[in-house]
Structure 1
Amino acid sequence: MKYYIIALLLSFTALAEGQVKQGSLQVGSQFPVMEPIKLLSGGVLDLQSSQSKVIILEFFDTYCTSCIASMPKLKALQKSMDGKIEIYMLTYQDKNTIENFYKKNKFLQEKKAILPTIVADTVLHQMFPHQSVPHSVWIYKGLVQAITHADYVKEKYLTDLLLKGKIDVPVKDDFKQLPTFNRESAITNSDKSILGTVILSGYDSTLTQVSGLNINKDSVGNVSVYFNNMDIFGAYTSLWTKIKKPTYLLLPQRIVWNVRDSSRYFYDEMSSKSYQEWIRENGISYKRTQFGQQSEAGWAELILHDLNTMLGLQVQWTNKERLCLVLKRKNKRITRIVRQGDKIKKVESTSGLMFVLDFSGQYPPAIDEVEEKINLELSTYKNLDELNTILDSYGLELVLENRSIEVLEFKEIIN
């Protein structure tokens, strides 16, 4: 792993091992003999008679949108593996909750993506404790072969396991303790003048993924600010929010990439790699330790300076001309129309309308040149013309025009 260091002295302390809950199973553990497990559909899962297949236990709940979104892919994967794997959804929620959810979920019904499901589970949750879902457990030949993020449930990894009988993938451990930094351990007998350290590294598998600006202070005044295993774009934007309060969504049109390869900085959902695979190649971790307090904005400015220096970047807000969707007041009498129906969207101001438009991702950046607190009732619209028909009754109009707007520029300044 490559490290970029600014410090009078760099010292690492031993990392605490993650606390293991009593009775839980780890990678390599023998899976215990169990009675067949009842499935929602009425069948059973008999793990003892399925040792020739890879069994994936996919922990989920109905609040996890990414879990639900992944089910069509998981079902297609199971079909493509031609009986060599079996995937089971697994939840603590009761039978009625899941039955009603599956029945009413149009996405799963249309995709025909409902997988065999274990409901009201407590036993397997105790064996495989976790704090976030999706949470994937791989069982093969009676052993726990892997515990991973759902991103790793792919044909290439499953094929490796079937061919080799084992697999080397990162372990998802939601209970791993964060490392601690002991300032005294960083001060040698020959030099007691250390005032602080700054450490920037690539992805570090020993660290739990922690985003944003995190601040810890000990009893004697040492302060540590850090983030772990973030993408570079996310690190910069989260820090900037501490300095400059966002007033709009940061759409792609508001980002300028003056870099050789933007895929190093920002994860593209169209990438052939899963996010977990990508972040292990491109993520960064940062930690600054020193005496003294700062405001959040002050810490953010210090960290941004460190990142710019060590990554060879200049990241700044500037203005560029862009095609925008501009809201204007029309010179006409306002005609109030009472709209009724279940699909009426109510917006309390023109700035709220700008957020709705930006959030949809269907239009250029929305610019509010009216800036009024006005109650807007928007019926369903399919395009800009239909939306303008609705806005006409309020004396408003959206037009496509160029404007000079704020953009965040990423510029590489070293080779």
Structure 2
Amino acid sequence: MKLKLCFLLLLCPVFWVHAQDKNTSVTSVAASADHRGISIGQQVPDVLIRNVSGLNGAGQNLAVLPLSAFKGKLVILDFWATWCSPCIAMIPKMEALQEEFKGRVQFLPVAYQSFKEVDAFYKKLQQQTGNAFSLPMVTADTTLVRLFPHQTLPHYVWIGGDGVVKAITDREAVSAENINSLLAVGSLELKVKKDEKMLYDTSKSLFFEGADFDNGIFRSQLSGYITNIGRGIYKDVEVEAGGPVRRITGRNLTIPELFRIAYKKGKKETVLEDGLSKAFEPGKLTGANFMDWLKQGRAYCYELMVNQQSSDRTYALMQDQLKGFFPDYLVGLEKRKVKVLALVRTSSKDKLRTSGGQPTVNLDGFGCKMTSCFLAVFIDRLKIPFQASPLPVIDQTGYTGMVDLELTANMSSIEQVNKALARYDLRFVEKPAEIEMLIIRKR
């Protein structure tokens, strides 16, 4: 019998592009661009764009039109996805900029997802926010992504009214100031967004692929930054006689991030003392600037493989090894009284008990549905939508049984989540609490 649980966490939105369009004109252009797509200063061919909706009052009718239909305007292609939080955060900004530069600029969101999937997302977003969205969109795209290949989202391509690529940027560059400058002088000096090509299969070992582990107790390795493998965490727990049962892989992570894995703590449960936040935290750096910061000796790759007999010591082994690798720092857990966001019950009436069934959990930006799960699962899933809050999220309900929950709310809004939780007599409240914190200080 084998039980396998896999946990994959990407620390920044990563999108692997697999082009499938067989359009020969696009293929020839991509080939002439040295298989790297069209660069700044190059002319964009007048390709046909398929699955265009919402243009000139066309509503949901999917149209096919040439790129030259936008000739004379600055076109900003926005490669995005419905699961990409930074992409979604840019939607109202682009709507406002489209209105400000109406007639001179055309924002064109481009998604690899189907029209049905994207349209359903927009309908939920409009219902939730009460805002109407007017930008046209391209769905199920295979043409534009071949012209402008990329690895991370969002990804912006600025095409001038003359059909020449003026800039390729991340979201920080999308501003009224930069648009005005480009419209005024016809060119713009912006940092080019350059994505590393993802060459690593996260389901495989980073350092020990193919190694015979039958007689091994554990293996581990630490390295500096490695290009083309992305950035993230993979934790695999597998109970299977005679084979490696646990693998933890951290790719291009900072020292605090590695210790957080070892101690199973989040960023909000970490205290950096002795001024270490300046050395370990990137401040407001994002996108390419953040990746450049990591490459300056601030990121490491670590992998640990442990056999079945020693699997219960996995995290203790990782803790000890990291302390040995980084002896300049004292690291450990301490109880600290801090302000938290605590889930509490507002009555003693049991409105949570599960009615049974297969354990399932689905949580997105618009709601959550849990069946036969513990509240700890709910708390854990909220770490992403609640990431804007600086407070650790904890469970103080005291409820130990499995629950059923079904919420319809903007899951990043604590106020809306509380409104939806009221039917279960639950609520998140800010309060002081003594919790275990990960402390990192200089030795």
What secondary structure sits across from 1:111 in the alignment? coil
Who is 1:315 aligned against? 331
Q: 1:404 to 1:50 in 2, by over 3 A?
A: closer
Distance 1:279 1:410, change over 3 A: farther
What does residue 12 of structure 1 align with?
none
Evaluate the alpha carbon distance shift between residue 207 and residue 387 of structure 1 in structure 2; reply closer, same or farther with a 3 A threshold. Answer: closer
| Cα deviation 1:121-170 (Å, max 9, x = unaligned) | 33223323445543322223433344444444344555665547253524
Shift of 1:174: 5.6
* 1:372 aligns with one of 392, 397, 400: 400
Contact 1:160–1:167, Cα closer than 8 Å, also in 2: no
Out of 69, 86, 91, the position equivalent to 2:106 is 86
Higher Cα radius of gyration:
1
TM-score under structure 2 length normalisation: 0.56
Q: In the TM superposition, what are the counterparts of 1:191-206 in structure 2 within 5 Å?
A: 200=224
Are the structure 2 counterparts of residues 300 and 71 from structure 1 closer, same or farther at C-alpha, using a change threshold of 3 Å? Answer: same
- Residue 33 of structure 1: aligned partner: 46
Q: Return the match for 1:209 from 219, 230, 239.
A: 230
Q: Which residue of 1 aligns with 2:272?
A: 257
Q: Distance in 2 between matches of 1:82 and 1:90?
A: 19
SS at match of 2:122: helix
Corresponding letter in the other structure for 1:33? D
Which residue does 1:406 correspond to in 2? 436
**CA–CA distance in structure 1, aligned partners of residues 275 and 394 of structure 2:** 29
1:227 maps to a residue whose letter is R
Q: Which runs of 5+ in 2 are unaligned?
A: 1-16, 20-26, 57-63, 201-205, 208-219, 237-248, 308-313, 354-366, 409-414
CA distance in 1, matches of 2:376, 2:49: 57
SS at match of 1:105: helix
Matched, 1:285 2:299: yes
Aligned position for 2:163 = 142
The within-5 A match list for 1:16-415 is 23=31, 25-28=37-40, 29-34=42-47, 39-43=52-56, 47-48=67-68, 53-80=73-100, 84-106=104-126, 110-130=130-150, 132-140=152-160, 141-155=162-176, 158=179, 163=185, 165-173=187-195, 175-177=197-199, 200=224, 207=228, 209-212=230-233, 227-228=251-252, 230-238=253-261, 240=262, 244=263, 246=264, 250=266, 252=268, 254-260=269-275, 262=277, 265-266=280-281, 271=284, 274-281=286-293, 284-287=298-301, 297=315, 298=317, 301-303=320-322, 305-306=324-325, 308-309=326-327, 312-322=328-338, 349=374, 351=376, 366=394, 368=396, 370=398, 372-373=400-401, 375=403, 404-413=434-443
Where 2:145 maps in the other structure, the secondary structure is: helix
Task: Check whether the contact 2:259–2:322 (CA below 8 A) recurs between aligned residues.
Answer: no
Letter in 2 for 1:40: S
Aligned residues: 348
Q: CA deviation at 1:72?
A: 0.6
Q: Quick check: 2:282–2:293 contact (8 Å CA) kept in 1?
A: no
Note if contact 2:371-2:404 (Cα within 8 Å) is conserved in structure 1: yes
SS in 2 for 1:106: helix
Distance 2:114 2:407 in 1: 37
Aligned to 2:244: none
Contact 1:255 1:408 in 2 (8 A): yes
Paired residue secondary structure (2:53): coil
- The share of aligned pairs that are identical, in percent, is 20
What one-letter code is carried by the residue in structure 2 that aligns with 1:144? V
How far the C-alpha of 1:71 sits from its partner, in A, is 0.7
